[in-house]
Amino acid sequence: MSFLIKKNVDSHICAVRKDLRLIYGVMGDIHSNYDALTAVVDELRREQVDKVLCVGGIVGYAAEPAKCIDLVRELNCIVIAGNHDYAVVGKFPANYFHADARDAVVWTARQLSNEYLDFLKNMPLVEELDGITLVHGSLNRPEFFDYISTVVDAELSFSLLKTPICFYGHTHIPLVFYLKEGNIHVDRGHVFDVKKADKVLINVGSVGQSRDWDIRASCAIYDTDKMTVEIRRVKYNINSAVQKIYSAGLPAVNALRLM
């Protein structure tokens, strides 16, 4: 099932007609929080986005990994791998995680059938489309899943970025680094004008486990006509997500962090 809402817009035509306005929904770090994911998807549907992009982190921490994978697949997302996704299938060392995250990785692997594990295993690390790059962490050796948290981190990724825009995640904190006339700047506003930058790195925040003292889910909406990216915050049923984590026997801190 395609996410496409505008029935008169053909996805192939969208890919080749640069004059056609597209609205992308961009999300990541879902981390098995189905309550948050469904709320974000409802928000993107209300915005009538043409395509959903996912910067990885579908599983980990919370209690409904299979449901989250199902919905991501149903949306026909363009999706890349996060460190938790690869750790669940043994493509990234779980011993790099702290104990509570590692326990969730082990638990998640036991919940998923081979079909789900194969889906996670086959997700790429980096994807490029229509002037957009997707990566979970840094473009500098993306298989190591380093963070982009500082200007120095951003500089490494800018040196490798081939498109004007890169969406990423991993820190769970919405943030924009942008390159203008050789200088790197930081923008923490909720709407960013892409036209003012030569290149831009946009962290879309986390759907399932926000870490910026705003407990709402986070996603981004990119309008190719206005050339703006808006960070959108979405309320969801946190109590439901918390109870599911407790009921699954996952580490309590994974639930407490949501609140």
Q: Is residue 13 part of a domain?
A: no
Q: Is residue 7 part of a domain?
A: no
pLDDT tens digits for 178-216?
999 999 999 998 999 999 999 999 999 999 999 999 999
Residue 132 lies in a domain: yes
The tally of domains found in the chain comes to 1
The distance from CA 24 to its chain's CA centroid, rounded to whole angstroms, is: 13
The answer to whether residue 30 sits within a structural domain is yes
| pLDDT, position 19 | 57
Q: How far apart are CA 65 and CA 86, in angstroms?
A: 13
With CA atoms as reference, report the closest residue to 88 among 68, 70, 111: 111
Residues whose CB is less than 8 angstroms from the CB of residue 250 and which lie 6 or more positions away in sequence, other chains included: 61, 62, 63, 103, 104, 107
pLDDT tops 70 at residue 6: no
pTM of the predicted structure, to 2 decimals: 0.91
CA distance 222 to 212: 21
* Nearest-angstrom CA–CA distance, 217 and 209: 7
Domain carrying residue 179? 21-256
pLDDT computed for residue 108 by the predictor: 98
Task: Using the predicted structure, report yes or no on whether residue 62 has a pLDDT greater than 50.
Answer: yes
Query: Which amino acid type is present at position 149?
Result: S
What pLDDT, on a 0 to 100 scale, did the predictor assign at position 16? 37
Whether 63 is covered by a domain: the verdict is yes
11 part of a folded domain: no
What CATH number does the domain containing 220 carry? 3.60.21.10
Residue at 91 is within a domain: yes
**234 in a structural domain:** yes
Start-to-end CA span in the chain (Å): 33
| Strand order through the sheet with 228-234 | 78-79, 51-54, 23-27, 217-223, 228-234, 191-193
Rounded average pLDDT over 25-41: 98
Q: What does the pLDDT read at residue 3?
A: 47
